[in-house]
Structure 1
């Protein structure tokens, strides 16, 4: 597996350069409707780079970062509350967050179904979910998936359409933006469906 616990300083340095400007714009648009001081969870946060981009758009929001690697979290900005944990067992109460951000992290989750069930559990009514990842139906997406699997990672990459159907089965409405071999999904929890099956 990739030794993330020892790579925090690298990701902290390269993070701002590997997120395209259009992805940041998409994130800012996603954040606009959130209420003042809304609680936001950065899931699979790494060094909290998604929270940093979000903070640049909405510095009034309350950011929490969750990641299994303390070596990544220790590089998070001071305005981010950090917690060690996994997406499959999110250590927060029901209805804790108005929005959840997942940036280049979904493919690292071991159990996608459990992770989305947990996302539904901790989101408030009509909560929002933002996902940025690589499209597994493209050449680059397939290549990245293959490399990550060689490195021992779960490699749970999806095409946007497949992920859309998974999220809809969990009660989300979904809006997709495609950026070549990358994409973003802005989803809103409209009809909570507990313990859904993919």
Structure 2
């Protein structure tokens, strides 16, 4: 188990108290580029469900402590790593990751897995801190200082990874918190 997962298990009881409320405007803009109705939504790396509850998503996370918190919000949860999602091909209308991709092992593999579970016309939305911004560099340094195994990305790197996962790129918002979407193609 990665240090990040153990740390989030320990941090779970205080997570919602210390984290700012979820701002889901960029997420909703990302959902708007989908080419299908969004009934089956997964939040991968969803932790305590602070974002999932705003859109009615199922929380997928490897941290038992975080999933316990999500269940207190009456959210459906699945304990799994983003590198090996237990969902069938084409079983989700939308998948999203908010401020968590930098914690994922093998992010390219994770994005491929998220693309795999998307139905045609479904959308993947990723909101991540851009390491090329001043705040992004500060956050990267802070997470390194607390020994998180984090890898932050620029907007261009996120776009490249989403396209490499086989999705049709749809840029949404840029800045410290960058949001990029990809739509699943195919019949």
In the TM superposition, 1:1-150 aligns within 5 A as 1-2=3-4, 3-15=7-19, 17-19=20-22, 21=23, 24-32=24-32, 34-35=36-37, 38-55=39-56, 63-76=57-70, 77-78=73-74, 80-150=75-145
Moved more, 162-171 or 98-107: 162-171
Moved more, 96-105 or 46-55: 46-55
CA contact (8 A) 2:130 2:176 kept: yes
Encode CA deviations 1:108-157: one digit per residue, 9 max, x unaligned.
Answer: 00111211121122111222011111001112112211222333323221
Change (3 A) 1:97 1:12: same
More relative contact order, 1 or 2 (CA 8 Å, 6+ apart): 2
Whole-Å Cα distance in 1 between the matches of residues 151 and 186 of structure 2? 25
The number of residue pairs the alignment matches comes to: 179
Using structure 1 for the length normalisation, give the TM-score.
0.81
For structure 2, the 5+ residue unaligned runs are: none
Deviation at 1:8, TM superposition (A): 1.5
Over the aligned positions, Cα root-mean-square deviation in angstroms equals: 2.1
CA contact (8 A) 1:27 1:54 kept: no
Whole-Å Cα distance in 2 between the matches of residues 31 and 159 of structure 1? 21
Change (3 A) 1:98 1:89: same
Deviation at 1:170, TM superposition (A): 1.9
- 2:167 maps to 172
For structure 1, the 5+ residue unaligned runs are: 56-62, 193-198
Using structure 2 for the length normalisation, give the TM-score.
0.85
Change (3 A) 1:120 1:28: closer
- 1:185 maps to 180
Deviation at 1:53, TM superposition (A): 2.3
